[in-house]
Structure 1
Amino acid sequence: MDRISALRNVEDALSEFEAGECDLATMERRVRGVLRTYATEFAEQDAYRASGDEECEGVVVLASSPSEARERVADLTDLDRGAVTVDRVE
C-alpha cells in the first residue's frame, strides 16, 4: 500500500463515520488497520505488541524479529529487555 492509497482509505473511513454509516469503533479499527498495513509494507518488517510490565503494555513496534522488537520496546520504555514480552500482531 502506498501513501496515497493509505490516505484515501483513511479518508473513506472518516467520510463513512461522518455520514453515520459506521460507528467510532469501526472507524478506529479501519484506520488502525490501514496504518499498520502501510507501516509494515513500507518498513518491510512485522508489527509486535509488547506485554509484561505496565509501562510497556500495548506498545506496538516494527521489527525484523522478536528480539529486535524487545530491544525497541525496551529503548522506548527504559525497561530491561528481559522484562518485555512481545507477540507478533497478525
Structure 2
Amino acid sequence: MATMLMYLSDVEEGGETVFPAANMNFSSVPWFNELSECAKKGLSVKPRMGDALLFWSMRPDATLDPSSLHGGCPVIRGNKWSSTKWMHVGEYKI
C-alpha cells in the first residue's frame, strides 16, 4: 500500500530514486543541474542521509498507482545505503 524509503548515507554523485512515470516537468527545480542523467527522466529524489521518502503504491480506490513505479539510478561516486519499510493492507505471508 505504501513504501517508506530511508536514506542512510549521502551519495557524492548519482544514486537518485527516480519515478519515471511521474507526469510532470521538473526541469525548473533549482537542483535539476545537480542530478545525474538517469534522474532527469521524471521525478527524482537525491539521497541525503537522514531523509526519508514516503510514497503510496495504491490509490484511495485500492487500484495500483502507476506513477509509483520507481527505480534507483546508478551510483557514480560514493556509496548508497538505504532501508525500506513496506506497509501492507493485510497480513503479509512469505
Q: TM-score range by the shorter chain?
A: under 0.3
Higher helix share: 1
Larger radius of gyration: 1
The one of the two structures with greater contact order (alpha-carbon pairs below 8 A, sep at least 6) is: 2
